[in-house]
Amino acid sequence: MMSQLLALCLFVSLIITYNAPVADARIRHYKWDVKYEFKSPDCYKKLVITINGRTPGPTILAQQNDTIIVEVTNSLLTENLAIHWHGIRQIGTPWFDGTEGVTQCPILPGDTFTYKFVVDRPGTYMYHAHYGMQREAGLYGSIRVSLPDGQSEPFAYDYDRSIILNDWYHKSTYEQAAGLSSINFTWVGEPQSLLIQGKGRFNCSTPGTDASNCNASNPECSPYSMTVVPGKTYRLRITSVTALSALSFQIEGHNMTVVEADGHYVEPFVVQNLFIYSGETYSVLVRTDQDPSRNYWATTNVVSRNATTPPGLAIFNYYPNHPRRSPPTIPPPGPYWGDVDPRFNQSVRIKARQGFITPPPKFPDRVMLFLNTQNDVNGYRRWSINNVSFNLSHTPYLIALKENMHHTFTQIPPPDGYDFLKLNIYERNPNASGTTTDAVYRLPFDATVDVILQNTNSMVVNNSETHPWHLHGHDFWVLGYGRGKFDPYKDPEKYNLVDPIMKNTVPLHPYSWTAVRFKADNPGVWLFHCHVEAHFFMGMGVVFEEGIDRVGELPSSIMGCGATKQFSKP
């Protein structure tokens, strides 16, 4: 009986496979072992989380509609784990988004968890830990999804390369988290270095450095060198997973043509430097049209903060020059950190490429105003939306909502807006005390939702920070950016409904606003949060539920924590 059933299932699957429109899609199978190891990515030895011995982890290379299977074994000693596939919408597989507390329970030490999802759009994406502050410990990598064989991009290039940017702290994520969550609040401070493709260079002579842990001649921290052939066009896929820093990236003497952002084609424009915020990806085309007898600096530097972090340096190596040969020049300094205008202008400039525009719905069904505030809640420094700071429930929302375990979190939704008439974004928050919640926003399925992110002054006088907001499970249309205070009556008239770019991560500039629109058409439960690791840790996020009744049967592998500890499928 059993074997007959199996045979039937096999037969049915064969039929399904045969009829599938993506018949040439492949399965890409990865086995990852995650553990702590000592590494010296910037010459300073510290404990990092590696995948198969590496940080950044292996690059996932796939074609559109491929199925990615990643078997993650947690070989950390006492610590759990979850990995988010940033930019992959997880259509039909909301349980594999990898967001601990939202879509799954964490993976316990010794356990192997299998992620399985389809990469349904070409483009540049990333993966990283999404649990506590583990991303900062080094668990991250690139995802590159190319078009199916025979299809081509609307731009030409000879070679395709990935670069992932990060900032790097010498203190452990535990130390950072303990400082952030203490009554005696301790800010993690500026990162010690910037990493390009996992390599940076900390000055071991910096006062206070434990010399025994710092070795400037360690080959691990030799600058990343990208070898290029003269006279060619390179597609550089640039990703930022920084914990904190907004970055500028530039290649000495070379223009860059922006052609892709977060998996969407951009109407091409040329920049000398690319501003990139944590959670964003861009593809730029670079023509190797400079003097081929030398190498050039590729550099990245912190913008938007008056940071002490030195720039990150890599070598743009013109073949056949030696890849380690230093360029004869001083590395270009990059733009001044305090200029908001160039960053704001780049944001505005990014539009959908002609011929590849997905028009947004004309009107929203629901408008949410999200005031970004810093608060002191019961003595703890927090980040909040509308003065409400977010704490993850102990039971992942996807499971709680799908299985009607509504007792596991507050059922009163957080506020949809703020008193925009009274608001003065340039003063310290008059409602600094604030509150916390573990509640979610429940959206009508298929609704068109506008979110306007409004930046304000932080708790520090004359300071407003940059927040890159990332939405899981969706791409949104970027309707507009504005300086100052958003006017809900007038500013929507200026929205770009003609050729807005779609993205999954968008910057909110200091003392500014950013408006996005998305369709709540992906059944599941999705986090929307500031991608600054410390900011989300301090409560800067919200959760959207949509179409929970359309979510398929949850895999039992995502359960086992909070109220789902004893929850098993029959």
Of 80 and 458, the one with the shorter C-beta distance to a copy of itself is 80
Residue type, 12: V
Instruction: Identify whether 413 is preceded by a cis peptide bond (ω within 30 of 0).
Output: no
Beta-bridge partners for 298: 251, 314
Q: Smallest distance, Å, CB 347 to a copy of itself?
A: 33
31 binds a copy of itself (CB under 8 A): no
131 binds a copy of itself (CB under 8 A): yes
CB 415 within 8 A of CB 386: yes
Tell me which of 9, 178, 229, 498 binds a copy of itself, using CB under 8 A: 178
Piece of the chain touching a copy of itself by CB under 8 A; list 25-33, 155-163, 179-187, 315-323: 179-187
Tell me which of 28, 351, 394, 442 binds a copy of itself, using CB under 8 A: 394
Other CB atoms closer than 10 Å to residue 447's CB: what's the count?
Answer: 16
Piece of the chain touching a copy of itself by CB under 8 A; list 22-30, 125-133, 214-222, 473-481: 125-133
Give the whole-angstrom CA distance, residue 258 versus residue 237.
Answer: 10
Give the whole-angstrom CA distance, residue 16 versus residue 436.
Answer: 47
Q: Smallest distance, Å, CB 505 to a copy of itself?
A: 23
Residues 6+ apart with CB under 8 A from 208: none
Distance of CA 104 to the CA centre of its chain: 18
Of 409 and 518, the one with the shorter C-beta distance to a copy of itself is 409
Of 77 and 330, the one with the shorter C-beta distance to a copy of itself is 77
Of 17 and 182, the one with the shorter C-beta distance to a copy of itself is 182
Of 210 and 339, the one with the shorter C-beta distance to a copy of itself is 210
Let me know how long the chain is.
570
143 binds a copy of itself (CB under 8 A): no
Tell me which of 151, 182, 206, 378 binds a copy of itself, using CB under 8 A: 182
Half-sphere exposure of residue 315: CA atoms within 13 angstroms, side-chain side: 21
Other CB atoms closer than 10 Å to residue 52's CB: what's the count?
Answer: 12
- The token duo for 360 is 């947004």
Piece of the chain touching a copy of itself by CB under 8 A; list 18-26, 35-43, 268-276, 496-504: 35-43
Q: Smallest distance, Å, CB 105 to a copy of itself?
A: 8
Residue span 518-557 as binding mask against a copy of itself, x where in contact by CB under 8 A, dash where not? --------------------------------------xx
Size of the site for a copy of itself (CB under 8 A): 44
Which helix (H) or strand (E) segment holds residue 4: the answer is helix 2-19
Piece of the chain touching a copy of itself by CB under 8 A; list 90-98, 208-216, 224-232, 371-379: 208-216
What is the footprint of a copy of itself within residues 84-113 (CB under 8 A)? 105-106, 108-111
Tell me which of 2, 16, 23, 77 binds a copy of itself, using CB under 8 A: 77
* Alpha helices in 312-370, H assignment, sequence order: 340-349
Other CB atoms closer than 10 Å to residue 114's CB: what's the count?
Answer: 13
Residue 125's nearest CA partner among 167, 88, 152 is: 88
Of 17 and 186, the one with the shorter C-beta distance to a copy of itself is 186
Of 342 and 555, the one with the shorter C-beta distance to a copy of itself is 555
Q: Smallest distance, Å, CB 270 to a copy of itself?
A: 43
Give the whole-angstrom CA distance, residue 467 versus residue 278.
Answer: 9
CB 371 within 8 A of CB 386: yes
208 binds a copy of itself (CB under 8 A): yes
Residue span 550-569 as binding mask against a copy of itself, x where in contact by CB under 8 A, dash where not? ------xx-xxxx--xxxxx
**Distance between first and last Cα of the chain:** 20
Of 4 and 184, the one with the shorter C-beta distance to a copy of itself is 184
- The token duo for 211 is 């010399």
What is the footprint of a copy of itself within residues 153-172 (CB under 8 A)? 172
Using DSSP, state whether 249 is helix, strand or coil: strand
- What is the strand order of the sheet 233-240 is part of? 193-196, 159-168, 233-240, 281-287, 256-261, 264-271
Tell me which of 174, 187, 336, 363 binds a copy of itself, using CB under 8 A: 174
Which helix (H) or strand (E) segment holds residue 16: the answer is helix 2-19
Tell me which of 37, 220, 339, 427 binds a copy of itself, using CB under 8 A: 37
Phi-psi region of 229 (alpha: psi -120 to 50; beta: other; left: phi over 0): beta
Of 361 and 555, the one with the shorter C-beta distance to a copy of itself is 555
- The token duo for 243 is 């914990």
38 binds a copy of itself (CB under 8 A): yes
Q: In 23-42, which positions are buried (b, 16+ CB within 10 angstroms) versus exposed (e)?
A: eebeeeeeebebbeeebbbb
Residues of the shown chain interacting with a copy of itself in the complex, contacts defined by CB under 8 A? 36-38, 47, 77-81, 105-106, 108-111, 131-134, 172, 174-175, 177-179, 181-182, 186, 208, 210-212, 394, 556-557, 559-562, 565-569
